Chain A
Amino acid sequence: NAGVMQNPRHLVRRRGQEARLRCSPMKGHSHVYWYRQLPEEGLKFMVYLQKENIIDESGMPKERFSAEFPKEGPSILRIQQVVRGDSAAYFCASSQGLGNQPQHFGDGTRLSIL
């Protein structure tokens, strides 16, 4: 399967723990985007990265959230000291080229906070 791969598919954390979500883009794609989908809401943009660079993080909460896309390996979305309000589905998308190329999505990580 050459699609966008996200893992884990489900993640359960207790309040105060850290959550790490991983995303491997489609083969040949070097642009990665993270979106969050809250219950009964649409997808909200969080961050756009290229290899080793954060291009646009205008949708990221100012605290506790960070993202990286290292030279080798998957992109990581990291949430520190999770709270109940972080419970959501987190989706990663990738594209082949500049910002307005079509974005293809993975099946998401569903994060539940106890």
Chain B
Amino acid sequence: QKEVEQDPGPLSVPEGAIVSLNCTYSNSAFQYFMWYRQYSRKGPELLMYTYSSGNKEDGRFTAQVDKSSKYISLFIRDSQPSDSATYLCAMSDSSSNTGKLIFGQGTTLQVKP
């Protein structure tokens, strides 16, 4: 079993839809949770960074962490064609103090005009 599971998709939605992206994980020591966006042939771009459980909102993006269920989510409101990309969840174990990130496989999102 992978430490971090993420449905690769692809996920196709119409413009303006609310998008829900999710990851599950198995290591209860993970404390830091991140979402990255990666366009084709480019590097991952940090979207959201959260510590422990709870919600965090930034513009059209909301990140949720449920540590009891080992489940994290990213919601995108009013999705735009420019949101079409691969979304990667990542997490790290605070006890290791090395910052080594464990990534999900990534979900490919297509927002159709």
In the complex, what residues of B have CB within 8 A of residue A93's CB?
A: 101
User: In whole Å, how far is A66's beta carbon from the nearest beta carbon of chain B?
Assistant: 18
User: In whole Å, how far is A33's beta carbon from the nearest beta carbon of chain B?
Assistant: 7
Contact with A along B30-48 (1 / 0, CB 8 A): 0110101000011111100
**Complex CA–CA separation, A100 to B42 (angstroms):** 23
Does A48 make an interface contact (CB < 8 A)? yes
Residue with the greatest number of chain B CB neighbours at <10 A, chosen from A55, A100, A103, A108? A100
In contact, B100 and A59 (Cβ under 8 angstroms): yes
**Complex CA–CA separation, A35 to B90 (angstroms):** 13
Contact with B along A85-105 (1 / 0, CB 8 A): 000000101010011111111
Once A42-B88, A43-B88 are accepted as A-B contacts, the answer to whether A102 and B101 lie under 8 Å apart by CB is no
Q: Output the nearest chain A residue to B2 by Cβ-Cβ distance.
A: A42
Q: Output the nearest chain A residue to B44 by Cβ-Cβ distance.
A: A105
Contact with A along B2-26 (1 / 0, CB 8 A): 0010100000000000000000000
Does B94 make an interface contact (CB < 8 A)? yes
In contact, A100 and B94 (Cβ under 8 angstroms): yes
In the complex, what residues of A have CB within 8 A of residue B49's CB?
A: 102
In contact, A99 and B97 (Cβ under 8 angstroms): yes
**Complex CA–CA separation, A70 to B32 (angstroms):** 29
Neighbour of B106 across the interface among A42, A44, A55, A105, CB < 8 A: A42
Chain B contacts with A in 77-113, Cβ cutoff 8 A: 88, 90, 92, 94, 96-106
In contact, A43 and B101 (Cβ under 8 angstroms): yes
Residue with the greatest number of chain B CB neighbours at <10 A, chosen from A58, A99, A104? A99
**Complex CA–CA separation, A91 to B103 (angstroms):** 13
Q: Which residues of A contact B (CB under 8 A)?
A: 4, 6, 31, 33, 35, 41-45, 48, 55-56, 58-59, 91, 93, 95, 98-108, 110
- 7 nearest A-B pairs in the assembled complex, by CB-CB distance: A99-B99, A105-B43, A56-B98, A42-B103, A107-B43, A43-B103, A42-B105
